[in-house]
């Protein structure tokens, strides 16, 4: 297995188990997880400190800021690509997320296959106009 990394990823997830699963999926795709945050405020500090290539952002976070509000604040300083993860495919949340220039909006649970293309887009393409093409990915049993 190659030790070369394709990207430096920050995970923002307040559920420890999901954070571990997401980290493993990202690593299996050949990327480095450079940090993790459990709240919006912690995420703001980590983005400034670590300068990640991509942020994987949970929408429902504990604390004062949800994931979308956190990205709105990140956008004041950075245009880092963001991939949202949500426990639901709520249209309102999806529309709020689109306004922040996200790469993708994925509905949990996710697999490595779900992350592969969005991570590739985020790392190899421009963030501009990605929100217009982002679609909520709905899981079927």
Residue pLDDT, tens place only, 20-66: 999 999 999 999 999 999 999 999 999 999 999 999 999 999 899 99
The confidence score (pLDDT) of residue 6 equals 80
Answer yes or no: is pLDDT of 12 > 90.
yes
Structure token digits, residue 105: 């909006």
Residue pLDDT, tens place only, 108-122: 999 999 999 999 999
The confidence score (pLDDT) of residue 5 equals 59
Q: Rounded to whole angstroms, what are the CA distances from 112 to 14, 21, 28, 44, 69? A: 20, 10, 8, 26, 26
**Which CATH class name applies to 8-137?**
alpha beta
Residue pLDDT, tens place only, 58-77: 999 989 999 999 999 999 99
Answer yes or no: is pLDDT of 138 > 80.
no
The confidence score (pLDDT) of residue 136 equals 47
Burial class (CB in 10 A: 0-12, 13-18, 19+), 130: buried
């Amino acid at each position: 297995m190659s030790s070369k990394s394709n990207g430096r990823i920050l995970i923002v997830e307040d559920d420890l188990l999901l954070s571990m699963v997401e980290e493993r999926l990202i690593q299996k795709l050949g990327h480095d997880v450079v940090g993790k945050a459990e709240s919006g405020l912690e995420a703001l500090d980590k983005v400034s400190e670590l300068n990640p290539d991509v942020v994987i952002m949970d929408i429902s976070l504990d604390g004062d800021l949800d994931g979308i509000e956190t990205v709105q604040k990140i956008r004041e300083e950075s245009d880092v690509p963001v991939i949202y993860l949500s426990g639901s495919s709520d249209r309102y949340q999806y529309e709020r997320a689109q306004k922040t220039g996200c790469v993708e909006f994925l509905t949990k649970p996710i697999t490595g296959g779900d992350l592969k293309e969005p991570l590739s887009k985020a790392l190899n393409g421009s963030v501009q106009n990605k929100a217009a093409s982002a679609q909520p990915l709905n899981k079927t049993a």
